[in-house]
Structure 1
Amino acid sequence: MNYQSVVESVLAEMQDPNCLRPLSTVADIASVKVNDSFLEVSLMMPYPVGSFGRGLATLVEAQLGGQLDGLQPRVTVGWHVQPQAAKGGIPTMQEVKNIIAVASGKGGVGKSTTAVNLALALKKEGANVGLLDADVYGPSQAMMLGVPPSTRPDTEDDKYMLPVLAHGIQSMSMAYLVDEQTPMVWRGPMVSSALQQMLMQTKWQQLDYLIVDMPPGTGDIQLTLSQKVPATGAVIVTTPQDIALLDAKKGIEMFRKVNIPVLGIVENMAVHVCSNCGHEEHVFGELGGARLADQYDTRLLASMPLDMAIRQQADGGEPTVISEPDSEVTIRYQHAALALASEVAMLTKSAPNIPSIQISDD
């Protein structure tokens, strides 16, 4: 029996639960090997699968069962994040595989809260993650990560800044470089220069993903990101209300014009659930994020509730993914992070050098 064909056929019939494509187009078959009464199959995913790798292996085993001439399937699932290829003449960063901008058309829609929770959710899946606070005028990630106000980054050779570690992720922010009461009264070129220095002169350590918390709008920072930084893609954060959606559309159009793919939409404050009676109310409108995703042929990565705890936890330096790891809100962030990582993987996944299948009787 050609076991390779059987495995390929089974994967073609299964759907990857995160990128919603046939599993055969996502997973690489690293090896197929007969060992005693077992058919050992090793799969390699292009994004972190810490929370569901074993479950995926069990599903593949169930689909293979009964098709192997009496052999028992034994499936293992690993993962490896591919670096983005160079594009548009912008050199890639050796220690950063993928740069993901988290942006919004306007302020007050929960962009920074989304950025930090996505970063922590990716870390929870096993990825090496960094978080760059690119909002030079109003940096907030130091507070959200619980980093004390007096923290300053260490330096190396008087040339590089070392990222500040918090909750297992590497971070850099203007808040680490100036006092929290100091206003940044800078013109556009100075802001753009500051972003490039924080990005390029921080000694990031082997990151799978660098999440960039962008300032709101479509100004100098966004243009610098597109022209000087090898960004893999962008996530747009909005609320369901019409005025927020209008500004979100401008953000999407801007990223399209500078050839940065929009990887998905995160809709915040989608529904409020009364803590007393459980009544659900769509305070800011309904299904706005889904309509926006449909209009621009992208994904709705998550629809998050209007929940006071999300704000309180971020303000207290313990974002939801950390403070309530088993909550419904954390599960939503986790699903969003996996969907995001899978979209990045399908962008960066080229024709890989798949190891040849070896079938042998031991």
Structure 2
Amino acid sequence: MADVTDVPSDAPEHCPGTESESAGKVSACQGCPNQDICASGATKGPDPGVALVKSRLSSVKHKILVLSGKGGVGKSTFTSLLARGLAANDLDKNVAVLDIDICGPSIPRVMGVLDEQVHQSGSGWSPVFVEDNLSVMSIGFLLGSPDDAVIWRGPKKNGMIRQFLSEVDWGDLDYLVIDTPPGTSDEHLSAAQYLLGAGLTGAVVVTTPQEVALLDVRKEIDFCRKVGIRVLGVVENMSAFVCPKCKTQSNIFPANTGGARQMCGELDVPFLGSLPLDPRLARSCDEGSNFLADIPDSPVVAAFNNVLTVLLRDKNRSSKNRNIKIDSQLFRYQKKTTRETKKEMRGADNRKFAKAGLSTPQATVHTVSYGCDFLLRIFIKSKYINSIEGKRKTIEENSFIFLHKI
């Protein structure tokens, strides 16, 4: 199967991929406008844009995508809250927002910089600054009017995103928050292609509680897994309306199938929290004001601060866990499916578990992917752990225990 980032937007259904040895030569390529180029081998070289993006973003510590499967769930609103929250959390941290929703850029309005223009210098495009430590870049700054439609096919969108990532003079950034359009289209493929090579931290997925939104979020999470993007967590937006008078909660969008929390449990992805519905937030976005600072008593602010705390904690923790090495002699199951791994673990020799300091092989094993790296997460009830001081070291993260040889 071809890598989804390696298939042109106008390719036929069974395209083998431009990097494949069969590119331009198999029956599926007949009638494709790219057939002659692929057959010539011109597409097999590395995209020079990948190296340019990697070089430009080398001074950006954390790159976070904000995704949603369906439009209208508040993705751009959450992006603005996340950027403002990160900037306010530590004034010494530099934060930027990149809007790659090419056909529907809304970040300039919600960030309050709709009428601004970007300037180009010898070092690249200069982003528009909202605060001293918060900047923004969007195609909205390049349009003659906010009402102008952007009618582009995939290749032109790809070129614009590459320019944003490689030609904007961001300077030294702690966080680059990237707002995307809904779905899994050209913009997402371009972002994956360029950002994965530049050290993408991961993605936050935004949804609302109803099943019609969760259906598309499941597809978004599947997309992330297929292209190697780590899901930092899911945020459930507009979970309930809190009456400002009596504080009673009303479910405007009922979670008939359990909502985002249950979905996260089923898909084994982190649930970051829920944000209630506050009409004042919609007005704040229309006006481009700082909701977190202007209305600090809103239940949205308290809920968002909890989400931000969990996100920052888990981001830092997950970054450390990438370096954990599992005893290769004991656990040789990294690249097997979950079902195969469970079967092998159930039939494992008890002596192997005794060697690890475990009295029984009763454990549930999950295979998880951080980009191209595979680790085993071993969930073991505390009663199965013997005293192993001096022999092995356990690293506990919530209910997960990672074992590695000292």
What TM-score does the superposition give when structure 1 sets the normalisation length? 0.68
2:78 maps to 1:114: yes
1:252 aligns with 2:218: no
Matches within 5 A, 1:209-220: 209-220=175-186
Structure 2 residue 314 is the aligned partner of structure 1 residue 314: no
Q: How does 1:260-339 map to 2 (within 5 A)?
A: 260-275=229-244, 277-286=246-255, 287-339=258-310
Deviation at 1:277, TM superposition (A): 4.9
Q: Measured at CA, do residues 228 and 148 of structure 1 come closer, stay the same or move farther in structure 2, by a change above 3 Å?
A: closer
Check if 1:152 corresponds to 2:117.
yes
Distance change in 2, residues 1:279/1:334 (3 Å): closer
CA deviation profile, 1:297-336 (whole Å, cap 9, x unmatched) = 2222120112111111111111421322354322222221
Distance 1:351 1:291 in 2: 30
Structure 1: give runs of 5+ residues left out of the alignment: 1-87, 353-362
* 2:158 matches 1:192: yes
How many residues are matched?
263
Is residue 69 of structure 2 the alignment partner of residue 100 of structure 1?
no
CA distance in structure 2 between the aligned counterparts of 1:91 and 1:198, rounded to whole angstroms: 12
Q: Which runs of 5+ in 2 are unaligned?
A: 1-49, 325-406
Which amino acid is 1:343 matched to?
A: D
Q: Aligned residue for 1:46?
A: none
* 1:271–1:305 CA contact under 8 A, matched in 2: yes
Report the Cα offset of residue 275 of structure 1.
4.4
2:372 is aligned to none
- Report matched runs for 1:35-114 at 5 Å: 91=54, 93-114=57-78
Q: Which residue of 1 aligns with 2:173?
A: 207
For the Cα contact (< 8 Å) 1:134–1:214, is it kept in 2?
A: yes
Q: What is the CA deviation profile of residues 146-176 of structure 1, one whole-angstrom value per residue up to 9, with x for unaligned ones?
A: 1142x1112211x501111103411100111
- Conserved? CA contact 2:277–2:300, under 8 Å: no
* Matched residue type, 2:207: T
Q: Aligned equivalents of 2:245 and 2:110: distance in 1?
A: 28
CA drift at 1:213: 0.5
CA shift in 2, pair 1:198/1:322, >3 Å = farther
Deviations 1:253-311 (A, max 9, x none): 00011111100011011112334554322121234011122122222212011211111
Structure 2 contact 276–299 (Cα < 8 Å) conserved? no
- More off after superposition, 327-336 vs 244-253: 327-336
Asked if residue 166 in structure 1 is aligned to residue 135 in structure 2, the reply is no
State the AA in 2 paired with 1:125. Answer: N
Partner residue, 1:224: 190
Q: CA RMSD in A?
A: 2.1
Is 1:345 aligned with 2:316? yes
Question: Take 1:162 and 1:140, find their aligned partners in 2: how far apart are those partners?
Answer: 19
Q: Deviations over 1:205-230 (max 9, x none)?
A: 21111000110000011111111123
* 3-state secondary structure, aligned to 1:94: helix
- Separation (CA, whole Å) in 2 of partners of 1:278 and 1:343: 30
Structure whose alpha-carbon radius of gyration is higher: 2
Residue 124 of structure 1: CA displacement?
1.4
Contact 1:255 / 1:261 at 8 angstroms: preserved in 2?
Answer: yes
Q: TM-score, normalised by structure 2?
A: 0.61
1:239 and 2:208 correspond: yes
Letter in 2 for 1:246: L
Other structure's SS at 2:178 match: strand
Aligned equivalents of 2:202 and 2:187: distance in 1?
15
Q: CA deviation at 1:238?
A: 0.3
Q: Secondary structure at the match of 2:238?
A: coil
What is the CA–CA distance in structure 2 between the aligned matches of 1:304 and 1:163, rounded to whole Å?
29
User: Does the 8 A contact of 1:122 with 1:338 survive in 2?
Assistant: no
Secondary structure class of the residue paired with 1:138: coil
Mapped partners of 1:130, 1:171: distance in 2: 6
Which residue is equivalent to 1:24? none
| Higher RCO by CA contacts (8 Å cutoff, separation 6 or greater) | 1
How far off is 1:98 after superposition? 1.4
Whole-angstrom CA distance in 1 between matches of 2:166 and 2:315: 22
